[in-house]
Amino acid sequence: MGFGVLFIWLSERVGMTLTDEQRAIRDVVREFAREEIRPIAREADETQTFPEEIWDGLAELDLTGLTVPAEYGGYDADPVTASVVYESVAYGSLAVATALSVHGLATSCLRTFGSDAQQERWLPEMADGRPVGAFALSEPHAGSNPADMSTEARRDGDEYVINGEKQWITNGVRSGVIILFAKTDREDPNTVTQFLVPKDVDGLTVGEKEDKLGLRASDTTSLTFDDVRIPAENRLTEEGKGLSAAFEILTGGRVAIASQAVGLADHAVEEAVSYSQEREQFDGPIADIQSVRHTLAEMATSTEAARQLTRHAARQRAAGTADAPMAASMAKYTASEAAMDVTNDAVQLHGGYGYVTEGEVERLYRDAKILSLIHISDG
C-alpha cells in the first residue's frame, strides 16, 4: 500500500476527512495564497514590509473575522475550519499567516472573556480587519514562564495604571488593539489579569521592528507601558484569572502554529517536486534518481503525518476534550519539526539554487526556524 493510499485509508478510519464546506474553503484560500500572496512574498520579506493589500484581501474573504461570532459580522469558524484556513494562508506566506493567527488570538480573547459591551464595541470592526489585534504576554526576562512577568496594572479608582514591557509582539506596529496580560500586584504571581488596551493610549511606546532571520514581513516589536491609564471596564477577566485564560486560548494558538507549519511544509514539498522534475542531470530529470525520489517521499510523508495530527488536535479542541491541550502540544511539536526538516531537504535538493535568494526555498527554510522556537508565551 503506497503512502498516499495509506493516509487516505487512515483518514477515513479515524474521521479526519474534511466536510464539503471545509474543502471548498481550503480551495478558495489556497488559490488566494497561490495567486495573490506568493507573488509578493519575496519582496515583502526583502523590504520587511507587511503587505497591507493582502490583509485587505483576507478581510474581503471574511478571514479577519475567522474567530468572531456571526452576530458581530464574523465568520465564526469551528477549530477545524480555522486550522484549514491558517494552513492554506501559510501555504502562501508564513508571515501573513502569523499576523492573521495572532489577530485571531485577540478576537478569540474578546469572544471568550469580553463583556457584551466590549464585544459590541470591538468585534465588528476587528472582523472587518481594522483595528488589527495583538497579543501581549511575553516579556524580556520572563522567558517561557509567563508567571514571572513583571508588567503591572495597578487599580487606581475607576482606572488601571499599567507599567512594564512586553516583547516579541506580532502586529506590534500594525495593531490598533492589544490584549494585555499583567499582574495587579507585581510581587504576586497569582494576580495575572487580562486587559484590552487601545493602541492610541498615552504612555504606550512601540519599539523598533526586530531584524529577524525569517518571518521578516511580519512586524515584531516590544511594547513599553509608562503610566498607561485604561478604564477598569477594559479588564477582560477577574483579577488573577488571566493566566488560566491565556492557557485556554493558547491551546488554539498551538493548533494554529501547527497548521501554519503544515502549510509551509506543503509549499516546500511542492517546490522540491517541481524543481526535481525540471532539473536535469545524467540525461534526465533528477526526479528519476532513486535517492531523490526517496527524499521527496519522506518529505511528503512527514507533511501529511503532521497535517493529520494537527487535524486531530483541532477536532479534540472542537469537542472540548480533556486531551485537547496535549493533542495541541503534540501537533505543534511534530508539525514545527516537520517544517524544519522538510524545508532543509528542499534546500538540499535545490543544491546551490536553494542557497540563493532568487528562489523560494531559502525563504521557507528561514521562516521555518521560528516555528520550533515559539513557546506558549510568545505573542
Q: How confident is the model at residue 378 (pLDDT cuts 50, 70, 90)?
A: very low
Single pTM value for the model = 0.93
- What pLDDT score was predicted for residue 1? 37
Strands (E), the chain: 132-136, 152-156, 159-170, 175-183, 192-198, 204-206, 220-231, 280-281, 284-285
- What pLDDT score was predicted for residue 355? 83
- What pLDDT score was predicted for residue 137? 95
- What pLDDT score was predicted for residue 372? 85
> How far apart (Å, rounded) are the C-alpha atoms in residues 93 and 34?
9
For 174, the 3-state DSSP assignment is: coil
The arithmetic mean of pLDDT across residues 183-210, rounded, is: 97
Which domains, and CATH codes, for the chain? 15-131 (1.10.540.10), 134-240 (2.40.110.10), 243-372 (1.20.140.10)
Residue 211 has a CB neighbour count (10 Å cut-off) of 8
Q: How confident is the model at residue 376 (pLDDT cuts 50, 70, 90)?
A: very low
> How far apart (Å, rounded) are the C-alpha atoms in residues 317 and 1?
31
- What pLDDT score was predicted for residue 375? 53
Beta strand 192-198 with 204-206: parallel, antiparallel or unpaired?
unpaired
Q: Is 52 exposed, middle or buried (0-12, 13-18, 19+ CB in 10 A)?
A: exposed
Residue 145 has a CB neighbour count (10 Å cut-off) of 12
For 218, the 3-state DSSP assignment is: coil
Peptide bond between residue 131 and the one before it cis (omega within 30 degrees of 0):
yes
pLDDT in tens, 199-241: 999 999 999 999 999 999 999 999 999 999 999 999 999 999 9
DSSP string, 66-129: TTS-GGGT-----HHHHHHHHHHHHTT-HHHHHHHHHHHHHHHHHHHH--HHHHHHHHHHHHTT
Q: How confident is the model at residue 377 (pLDDT cuts 50, 70, 90)?
A: very low
Q: How confident is the model at residue 35 (pLDDT cuts 50, 70, 90)?
A: very high
The arithmetic mean of pLDDT across residues 317-343, rounded, is: 96
What does the mean pLDDT of the chain come to? 92
Residue 265 near residue 302 (C-beta atoms within 8 A): yes
pLDDT at 256 over 70: yes
pLDDT at 44 over 90: yes
